[in-house]
Structure 1
């Protein structure tokens, strides 16, 4: 057995897309260990292996992960967007936690070990043409769409769950994204399911 590296030993973090459950974590660990890598940690979206990045056989890792239906995220842009998206989804789905609309971005940044201004500046440098605030809003409203389509929660309760103090504010932002009100969106989704 290879000894666990000390704190001074280099490690490499691999960011991996499509890891959404415990089974995915197990499969990724098996794939990486099958390539001879010493896997130190695997969590949703990332795996840490012993050794410097230069020692990783990236083409073999990419091929093994793709064969297992995962995708290796290799650019800084991909990893930042993926990490922000993962943090947003964890925050939204955390039972009992309701963050005020304005505090949500700061909580996401804190989870990533950054201040909101640092994360916002890093996101701006990506050159996507989208601000961090716009991205966070889109992710939150996509979750609202998911709740409207798959739950019986009232629109007001969904708005409160997403941290909106005003139903009108939530409805206005939702309307700008989808071109319809939350209740109309729900009716359209129910009608679509009824046609299947």
Structure 2
């Protein structure tokens, strides 16, 4: 937890963030350290002292300032600590109303993602000191088509109709309707 040591040294909050390009990629990815002036990033940020998730848009590490930000951007989540390890879960709708300025998760497309961790007890804070990954790609599998299932059901139904017709014809002989006696007759020569 943030505060001071007995010697008066500052202890900062531990934190983690997920980072995505703010806009659909056309050309280059944003710079992986919180974007750049041409390509901003959406940063979903969590701190252990508040256990709150906030959403920031950054255009370079010098634009990173989470203090006082309460905007969640529809991102929800929380974190827990257990024996010095954190588990943080974040979630948001795949699509937002502001598709021009916020990351959109599209099935069947690759989306760059980075992860950043700040070890506050090690003096890591702000945009200057942290552990960060390079860009990785997140891929959401498209929902499988239901067409094969519908074709299978239609095929089974068609097969049942053919079988029922064949059974009917076989039981009633030569495919002619039975007369009043229940006998099937084969035609004009009976």
Q: Please tell me the TM-score bracket, short chain as reference.
A: under 0.3
**Greater percentage in helix:** 1
TM-score (norm 1): 0.21
TM-score scaled by length of structure 2: 0.21
Where is the strand percentage greater, Structure 1 or Structure 2? 2
Higher relative contact order (CA 8 A, sep 6+): 2
